[in-house]
Amino acid sequence: MFAASSLTDAFRDAAAEFEAKNLGVRIVLNFDGSQRLRTQLEHGARADLFASADWQQMDILVGAGLVNGEPVNFTANRLVVVVFPGFKRDPTLADLTDPGSKVLIAQETVPVGLYSRVMLANLQGDPAFAGDYADQVLANVVSEEANVRNVAQKVALGEADAGIVYQTDAVAPGISQDILVLPIPEPLNVIAAYPIANLRDSTQQDLARGFIEYLMSEEGQQVLRDHGFGKNQSTAAWPAAGRLFRVRNG
pLDDT tens figures, 143-201: 999 999 999 999 999 999 999 999 999 999 889 999 999 999 988 999 899 999 999 99
CATH superfamily of 2-76+192-234: Periplasmic binding protein-like II (3.40.190.10)
Instruction: Calculate what percentage of the chain has a pLDDT beyond 70.
Output: 92
Classify the phi-psi angles of 176: left when phi > 0, otherwise alpha if psi is within -120 to 50, otherwise beta. Answer: alpha
Structural domain boundaries in the chain? 2-76+192-234, 77-188
Half-sphere exposure of 211 (CA within 13 A, CB side): 31
Question: For the whole model, what pTM was predicted?
Answer: 0.84
Q: Which residues pair with 77 in a beta bridge?
A: 192
Q: Give DSSP secondary structure letters for 18-36.
A: HHHHSTT--PPPEEE-HHH
| Digit-coded pLDDT (tens) for 53-75 | 999 999 999 999 999 999 999 99
Give, in order, the Cα–Cα distances in Å from 169 to each of 48, 134, 146, 191. 25, 22, 15, 15
What whole-number distance in Å separates Cα of residue 19 and Cα of residue 40?
Answer: 26
Please choose, from the candidates 16, 23, 62, the residue with its C-alpha nearest in 3D space to the C-alpha of residue 41: 62
Instruction: Note the pLDDT of residue 232.
Output: 62
What CATH number does the domain located at 77-188 have?
3.40.190.10
- 77-188: same fold as 2-76+192-234? yes
Instruction: Note the pLDDT of residue 249.
Output: 31
Q: Is there a contact between 131 and 121 (Cβ–Cβ < 8 Å)? A: no
Instruction: Note the pLDDT of residue 231.
Output: 74
What whole-number distance in Å separates Cα of residue 3 and Cα of residue 192?
Answer: 15
Give, in order, the Cα–Cα distances in Å from 82 to each of 53, 164, 189, 232. 19, 6, 15, 24
